[in-house]
Amino acid sequence: MPPRLGLKIDVDTLEGFRQGIPALLDILAARRIKASFFVSLGPDNSGRAIFRVFTQQGFLEKMWRTRAPALYGLRTMFYGTLLPAPLIGAGAGEILAAVAAAGHEVGLHGYDHVHWHDHLLGLSREEISRELAQAQGLYQPFLGHAARAFAAPGWQCSAASRTVLAAGGFLYGSDTRGYAPYFPRFGKQINSVLEIPTTLPTLDELLGFEGCRPEDFAALVLGRLQKAESPQVLTVHTEVEGGPLRQEFAHLLDRCRDQGVEFFRLEDWARELLQEPEKIPAASIRQGRLPGRAGRVSCQGSLEAES
């Protein structure tokens, strides 16, 4: 079997929406690759992320190492503080329609990305429901249907957030970092929404970490793909791979294709897996740290057979 790779493309900011999506659509179209886009549609409060300096170990070092102002742009880094937070979903119809028309999947990446990322674990089910309802309210008029896939901002999920996904009829979520698809377990309760975790590290995490360059990251991804016995999921960001590092990303895709890698949309894999749900194991979720990343993220625990 050839290596298989799902591209999960997160859209966190207004700049990533307006500039990064079109750039990545061109890159993908030139290579006939289909991907899964997950869009934040609420206010771009990116500037408020600066307060993670006080709450997340390694945040300032990561911002310095990755040269965040050059990656994200100064305007983006001031939104929500020195500059008003613009609504990402305002006038988003043309771009979203272009993504869907090109055959890509379009899912939700939340409403207020920074708020979810920084406060999800303290939010109630009702507060989370409002966040998702606001996101769906912006998504549905443009695409004519509710989103069926969700990717949690900052890989932050909880029992409450997964309960809301189940109540909202979502097909699957991609909320965690892990190694294989599973049904999340919270205590004795197993959530009914399939989880497809991100299995590979991300470029924005490893850039500059222990001297990692984009070409080193590409070699790491290719090495993992060649060794993997199951499909892998790579998360990319429109602000990074669709921004200053778009050429490096295009080169990675070319190297993948040269090595026979097959690309897939996460939705298609989810539907394939859910044909036999009894074969999908359960796993608990824990908060853990990852190399090069500030703070903690929701991580997949050990797989367990369903009883």
Minimum mean pLDDT range among 77-81, 222-226, 293-297: 77-81
What are the angstrom distances between the C-alpha of 222 and each of 190, 215, 225, 257?
34, 11, 5, 10
Backbone φ and ψ for 47, nearest 5 degrees, come out as: -60, -25
pLDDT (tens digit, 9 = 90+) per residue, 219-266?
999 999 999 999 999 999 999 999 999 999 999 999 999 999 999 999
Rounded CA gap, 233 and 180, in Å?
Answer: 9
- Six-digit token string for 210: 């222990």
Residue 157 confidence (pLDDT) = 97
| Domain locations along the chain | 4-304
Rounded CA gap, 241 and 235, in Å?
Answer: 10
Secondary structure (3-state) at 233? strand
* DSSP annotation of 108: E
Rounded CA gap, 112 and 127, in Å?
Answer: 12
Report which of 50, 41, 34 is spatially closest to residue 16, judged by C-alpha positions: 41
Residue 92 confidence (pLDDT) = 83
Residue 216 confidence (pLDDT) = 97
Rounded CA gap, 132 and 134, in Å?
Answer: 5
- Is pLDDT of 303 > 80? no
With a threshold of 0.85, does the pTM exceed it?
Answer: yes
Minimum mean pLDDT range among 72-76, 97-101, 119-123, 185-189: 72-76
Rounded CA gap, 210 and 26, in Å?
Answer: 32
Rounded CA gap, 50 and 58, in Å?
Answer: 12
Give the pLDDT mean for 276-292.
96
CATH of domain 4-304: 3.20.20.370
- Six-digit token string for 1: 């079997």
